[in-house]
A and B are shown apart, each in its own frame.
Chain A
Amino acid sequence: GAVVSQHPSRVICKSGTSVKIECRSLDFQATTMFWYRQFPKQSLMLMATSNEGSKATYEQGVEKDKFLINHASLTLSTLTVTSAHPEDSSFYICSAPNPRGGYNEQFFGPGTRLTVL
């Protein structure tokens, strides 16, 4: 079946550096992808909607200059955490709608664990 991949799966960086996370739809095209963040023992929190060829739509309270999203092709969206700090340490997950699925059926990536020292 269709798969969404993420790279890297884990990343450790120093405070102040920027980290890029890739989300790819492997055998289908996705004009829209979504980025979530999940802290330990908490639910997924939607951060933004990534739109191919246009600007991302951010949820209230999410800093667009902090979390840069680029959806340059129909199979790739990237999330860049700029000037990362320890409080940005979290599990980042992307998703894309299943083009052959029912309503509200999405494929989720395996997630990226970000640790900022």
Chain B
Amino acid sequence: LAKTTQPISMDSYEGQEVNITCSHNNIATNDYITWYQQFPSQGPRFIIQGYKTKVTNEVASLFIPADRKSSTLSLPRVSLSDTAVYYCLVASIYNQGGKLIFGQGTELSVKP
């Protein structure tokens, strides 16, 4: 499982766009990039997943450059309720349904 590196913490203000970058230099050809969100005292929640280029859903966008050695989670116009820890994970497609290894995550604090 490829190791990931994220900033430990980030601060933002309501209404701003937040971009959280994750480095995964050793990503393998068969690896997908997945992001989870965790609020205090709750289990994580799946946000978005991608392999290359750009993926967008109702919650966020995920940008993946051609070399796939990093990825950026973009949260548009954050609100106070987006204050949470965001985890970037990399795992193989052959791991489908398999275990996930969480890194340290990025603690996002959104201020009024």
A residues lining the B interface (CB < 8 Å): 4, 32, 34, 36, 43-46, 49, 91, 93-95, 97-98, 101-111, 113
Say which one of B11-19, B67-75, B76-84, B88-96 lies at the interface with A: B88-96
Task: Give residues in B with beta carbon < 8 Å to A.
Answer: 32, 34, 38, 41-46, 49, 87, 89, 91-93, 95-105
Closest residue of B by beta carbon distance from A6: B43
CB distance from A91 to the nearest CB of B (A): 7
* A34 touching B99, Cβ below 8 Å: yes
Q: Which residue of B lies closest to A41 (CB)?
A: B107
A103 in contact with B91 given A108-B43, A110-B43, A113-B41 (CB within 8 Å): yes
Can you spell out 27 A-B residue pairs with CB atoms less than 8 angstroms apart? A43-B87, A43-B102, A44-B87, A44-B102, A46-B99, A46-B100, A46-B101, A91-B41, A93-B44, A95-B100, A97-B96, A97-B97, A101-B46, A102-B32, A103-B34, A103-B49, A103-B93, A103-B95, A104-B49, A104-B100, A105-B34, A106-B100, A108-B43, A108-B45, A110-B42, A111-B43, A113-B41
